[in-house]
Every structure is written in structure tokens, then in C-alpha cells.
Amino acid sequence: MIYKNSKRIKTILLFTLILLQVKCYGQSLFYDNLFIENQHTLSFKLQYSNKQVKKDTDKKNSIQADLIYGQENNWDTISVHLNARGNFRKATCYFPPLKMTIKKSFSKNTIFDGHKKLKLVLPCLLQTRSNDDVLKEYLAYKIYELIATEHFKTRLATVEYVDTRNVKTEIHPLAVFLPKKIRNTSIYEGEQALASKKPKTYLLKAIIIEDEKIVAKRNGANVLKRFVHPLNQAEIPSITNAFFQFMIGNTDFSTAYQHNQKLIFKEGKTIPLPYDFDMSGLVNASYAVVSNVQNTTLDITNVKERAYRGFERDIKRFQDVRELFLSKQSEILHLFDDYKIHFDETRSFMEAKAYILSFFAILKNDAKFESQIVLKARVK
């Protein structure tokens, strides 16, 4: 009897475990079709008017477009709505970053299933280096994935973008020399008398970023929309974020005012989620300037100079995070090496990797760590 009961209990436990695994697997599959481990670069095509998307930015005036994406050696199409985002980039960039909205009925049973909203980062300017700038910003996201439990998931993409604003139908060059009376006859009507200007096509790198609500749901948290001082945020995540921003040379953020940061609330703790790193020294974009968020003047003049923007904490916590970063050095450097092939210019890759190495040189030197991080921590 004992043997039979034991066997029955084992069977029930095994069946329960299988159900839990199926449930977890299904939940993971639902949210990670787009952002999967060891993901390949997603290829897709988009057509829309760049001028129109920069002009019409609110939800009511979003631009409808068909996103054609590569999937298992085939091309699939999904309808999306696009809005430009980011006031600075809209004013400065030729290609503004986009917010992409997808109806649930359209995304069902596609790789976008479960993702109603996504951010899309495109190269800012029409420069030969712009695609490499996007790649460096993508690597910043991937670094943060390695060191922080809570983070945005991202995916690198290549985009064949067609700007439709230059599509115009006009009189054929040979037809303009004919008298209008003859030109209007049936012989010259239609396509024979008309010519179309070809739209401009661009081959771009892009970053797809998940919505903060998905990050919160994945981590069993809620999105916070209010002011939370960094000293009232979870210690280790807050310090990790500050070290990371120092690592990539970024000062264009504020965790309290949620500038290039989102906040989630998990198990009684507030956790920051950083994003938008184009102003960092790692990216070193041609338009990047030292930020003065909340009118704070910093004692640096170039984005490649680092300035620690975190707050004073228990020194033991600083040392814990220091060790965390040092333990990830090998993985981070391998990450760069893995993406070397994607850079258009070898020099761009070498400079980015050297910049990260200079951060680890600071961490490994007690005097530099003390002077550039510990003693620079903010008190207000």
C-alpha cells in the first residue's frame, strides 16, 4: 500500500511539474518570439513619408504602414502605425526614432504576438557612420542585459526603408515639348505622357525595443509614472544603473524625473530601466553634447569624458557593484567581438571597445575608482 501511494504521489508530482513547465514555456514563448536568446538580426522593409511622420506625431495622426519582415526564408507582412518620438531627435535627426503600435488582431500568431507597442531606433543623420552609431547604442542595451536583472529587451534589425515623400507623377520629359492640345489627345494620355520620380531607398540598421509594460509584466512588477528620488529606489539596481551610465559615458538621463529612464515597482522596491544612449561617449554621435538635465551644469565639455551621476551609498554596496561589473568584463568584451563583423568601419569598433576597456581600467585601480566614482557621488 505504501509503495502504491508513493508511486501515485511521484506520478502526480511529475505531472504537476510538466504542467508548470508547459505553462512557463508557453508564457515565455508568448513574449519572446521577437526577443529570443541568440537571436539573429531581423530583416524588414518599411515605406512611409519621413516628412509626414515627423510632422504628424500624435496618436490620432499616426502613419499607417505595412511592415514586411523576413521569417524562416519567407516574407510576412503586418500592418503597423508609426509616430515620431523624442523632441530633440525630431528637431535634430533626419530619421526620428519611432513608436510602433500594432493591433492585437494583426500581431496574433506572428513574431510580434504580445507586443502592442514597440520603440524603433533609426540612424539619426545621413552619415556614413550613422549605422555604426546605432550598433554601438544597441551594444549598450546588451551590456545592461548582462549586468541587470530588470532591463529592456532589444533586437537588432536591418531595414530597407523607402521614403515615399518624393513619389510624384509628372509630365514625361519628352511630352512637355509637345503643344498642349496634342499632349491632351488620347495618344499621349495615361502612362505614356507621365513619368514618376522614384522614391529614395535607404539601407539602415535599427533597434527594436520592447514596451515598459512588457518589462514590468515579465518581472512581476508595475510601471510607475511618478517622481521617485534615486535614494528611495532599490540600492543595487540604482547603483548598477549609475555605474552603467558612467561606463558608457552618458549624462543624458534622470531617474527621478524619468528622463530616458522608466521606473517599475517590484516587491516594494522601485527599479530604474535606462534607455536612449545616443548622447553617450560610447556612441559618440556627431550631434552629441554634454547634457544639462534639470539645468545641472557638469564639469565636462565632451561626451567622451565621464562624470559619475549616482548618489552616495554605503561603500560596501559600491564595492559589490564594482565586483559585479568586473565579473562581467569577459562577457562584455566577447559581446563586442561577436558584433565586430556588423560594423561598417573597423575604426568605429576599435574606438568603442577601447572606451569600454578604459572603464574597466578605472574599476581595477583603487585610486581612480575612489576619485572618479566614490568621491564624485552626489549628495543632492
Binning pLDDT at 50, 70 and 90, where does residue 311 land? very high
In a domain, 215, yes or no: no
User: Average pLDDT, whole number, for the chain?
Assistant: 86
Identify whether residues 182 and 226 lie together within a single domain: no
Confidence at residue 255, expressed as pLDDT on a 0 to 100 scale: 85
Is it the case that residue 115 has pLDDT exceeding 80? yes
Amino acid at 32: D
The count of domains in the chain is 2
Q: Both 299 and 180 in a single domain?
A: no
Domain that holds residue 308: 220-380
Query: 3-class secondary structure for 157-204?
Result: EEEEEEEHHHCCEEECCCHHHCCHHHHCCHHHCHHHHEEECCCEEEEE
- Among 218, 213, 158, CA closest to 32: 218
Looking at the fold, whether 185 and 290 belong to one and the same domain comes out as no
Residues sharing a CB contact under 8 Å with residue 61, sequence separation 6 or more, in sequence order? none
Cell numbers given for 32: 519572446
Contact 261, 273 (CB under 8 A): yes
Q: What is the pLDDT of residues 245-254, one digit of tens each?
A: 999 999 999 9
Q: With CA atoms as reference, report the closest residue to 19 among 8, 27, 31.
A: 27
Confidence of residue 256 (pLDDT cuts 50, 70, 90): confident
Whether residues 268 and 298 fall in one domain: yes
pLDDT in tens, 61-88: 899 999 999 877 889 999 999 999 877 8
- 363 domain-assigned: yes
Same structural domain, 234 and 367 = yes
How many whole angstroms separate alpha carbon 283 and alpha carbon 145? 17
Cα distances (angstroms) measured from residue 203 to each of 43, 69, 93, 126, 238:
11, 14, 16, 11, 37
> 243 with 191, same domain?
no
Q: How far apart are CA 350 and CA 347, in angstroms?
A: 5
The pLDDT tens digits for 149-194 are: 999 999 999 999 999 875 555 555 555 555 666 555 544 444 445 5
pLDDT at 103: 95
Residue 105 is assigned to a structural domain of this protein? no
Question: Cell numbers 544597441 correspond to what residue?
Answer: 138
Q: So what's the pLDDT on residue 195?
A: 53
Residues 374, 319, single domain; the answer is: yes
Predicted pLDDT at 177: 58
In the chain, the amino acid numbered 92 is: T
C-alpha 14 chain-centroid distance? 40
* CA gap 98, 86 in Å, rounded: 9
* pLDDT (average), residues 284-307: 88
Q: Is residue 162 part of a domain?
A: no
Judge if 333 and 193 occupy the same domain.
Answer: no
